[in-house]
Structures are given as C-alpha cells and as structure tokens.
Amino acid sequence: MGVAQVVFIVLGLITVAAAVAVVSLPNLFHSALSLVLALFALAGLYALLGAGYIAVVQVLIYVGAVAVLIILGIMVSERFMGHRRQAISEQWWIGAIAAALLLAVLSYLGVRVAWPVVVQQPPSDMVARLGEALVGKYVLPFEVASLVLVASLIGAIYIARERS
C-alpha cells in the first residue's frame, strides 16, 4: 500500500469520525469543534487531490469564518438553553434508515460505474490559470456569487437586527 493510500485512509477516517461526532454529540459546542476537525481533514484531502488552493480556501473560509460564526451563534443562544432537552428527535431511526439506504445506493454507483478516468496532471501554474478563468470563462458565475454574498450579508444584518 502506497503512502498516498495510507494518507487517504487516515484523513478519511478522521473526517468520517468527526462527522459522526458532529451529528451525534449532545453538546452543541463539542459538535462545532468536531466540525472544525472534519473541515481540517477535508482540507488535507483536497490537498491530496492536487487542489492546494482549494485546501487553503477551505481553511480560511470554513475554519476561519463559517466555524467561528457557528460557534459564536452557539455562544449567543446557549446561555438561554439551560434546560437541555433531548438532542436527537424520537424519529431518528427513520433518518438513519434513509441515510443508510442513500449511502448504499451512492456507494454502489461510485464503485460500479466505469467513470471515464483520464490520467492527466493539473497544470503547474494552476492558481494563475484559475484566476484568469475566474475573470474570463467563468466571469458570470463569479459575479453572481459576489452578488449573492452582498445580498445575503445585507439580508443577514436586516434579519438579525434589534427591533425597537
């Protein structure tokens, strides 16, 4: 077994274990910390795929912004949730069955379908060419994404504002 396979298996196991912890730990704060661990392991997997830029963006955006935002949200609201009720709904087993069925179908497809794999290198100046593509071929999705970001920022401020 090659080094890459061992790295993949270790990172994959960390990711899955942390993801299971996110959905099963009763304490929200512990869930959020597990989410950070899962996101870090995923950044490692992106780097293993040769998408180093996405790995860095993953750490910056997800770990640096989204996870911190979620932890902040937990801290704001948890003070008032003194009576911690059951964290999992009574009908959790229906969700578990649905998720297990979907996992079986998706895994079967992933393993069985003959994907048209080509053995090719990503270009060595990938980040530069990605930047050019973002303002060239993909300029419309890029601009739409910035518009969505601005709209959601304004919306978030408006929704969460203090009403007097």
Rounded Cα–Cα distance for residues 122 and 61 (Å): 23
Cα radius of gyration rounded to whole Å, the chain? 20
Under rule CB under 8 A, residue 119 binds other proteins: yes
Give Cα separations from 101 to 82, 92, 94, 104, 118 (angstroms): 36, 14, 11, 5, 30
Total Cβ atoms within 10 A of residue 11: 19
Asked if 141 interacts with other proteins (CB under 8 A), we say yes
Residues 9-28 that bind other proteins (CB under 8 A): 12, 15-16, 19-20, 22-23, 28
Q: Which of residues 42-101 bind other proteins (CB under 8 A)?
A: 42, 45-46, 48-51, 53-54, 57-58, 61-62, 65-66, 69-70, 72-74, 76-77, 80-81, 85-89, 91-92, 94-96, 98-100
Binding of residue 116 to other proteins (CB under 8 A): yes
CB of 2 to other proteins, least distance (A): 4
Number of C-beta neighbours around residue 122 at 10 A: 12
Structure tokens at 60: 């910056």
**Shortest Å, Cβ 164 to other proteins:** 12
